[in-house]
């Protein structure tokens, strides 16, 4: 069964945020990543949001969506660097995108840390 994750499906009350920022994230990631990574990243958002909901956690769906959708961006030629892990490259891509959309620095750091710190090791700060 193929599910088109560019459509905003309702999964147990979880939906992709209905915002200009979320639509622009979706468009960029869809146009940059192979379909396999795009769909994987979309599922990461749904799984993360479902897990947070189940645990009763409060989270910003838009920031979670940004982190999920950019989490493998460092695997693409456009965002891969020779000197950083792909996790950091993806976090840096998210940081740059969010800065270009005038997102608050604290929110950018939240997204960056969620992605850039994955895998351990020293990371460049946001």
Q: Architecture of domain 20-116 in CATH?
A: Orthogonal Bundle (1.10)
- pLDDT tens, 4-43? 555 678 888 899 999 999 999 999 999 999 999 999 999 9
- pLDDT tens, 62-76? 999 999 999 999 888
- Prediction pTM value: 0.84
Question: In a 10 Å sphere around its CB, with 0-12 CB exposed, 13-18 middle and 19+ buried, how is residue 31 labelled?
Answer: exposed
Task: State the Cα–Cα distance between residues 74 and 84, nearest whole angstrom.
Answer: 9
Express as a percent the part of the chain with pLDDT over 70: 85
Task: State the Cα–Cα distance between residues 121 and 126, nearest whole angstrom.
Answer: 15
Q: How confident is the model at residue 47 (pLDDT cuts 50, 70, 90)?
A: very high
Cβ–Cβ < 8 Å for 69, 98:
no
Q: Where are the domains of the chain?
A: 20-116
HEC sequence for 15-50: CCCCCHHHHHHHHHHHHHCCHHHHHHHHHHHHHHHH
């Amino acid at each position: 069964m193929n599910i088109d994750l560019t459509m905003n499906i309702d999964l147990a009350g979880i939906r992709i945020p209905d915002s200009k920022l979320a639509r622009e994230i979706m468009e960029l990631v869809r146009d940059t990543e192979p379909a396999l990574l795009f769909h994987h990243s979309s599922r990461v958002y749904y799984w993360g949001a479902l897990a947070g909901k189940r645990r009763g956690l409060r989270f910003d769906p838009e920031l979670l969506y940004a982190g999920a959708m950019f989490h493998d961006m460092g695997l693409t030629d456009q965002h891969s660097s020779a000197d950083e892990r792909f996790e950091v490259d993806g976090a840096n891509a998210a940081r740059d995108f969010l800065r270009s959309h005038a997102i608050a620095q604290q929110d950018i750091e939240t997204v960056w840390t969620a992605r850039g710190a994955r895998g351990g090791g020293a990371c460049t700060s946001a």
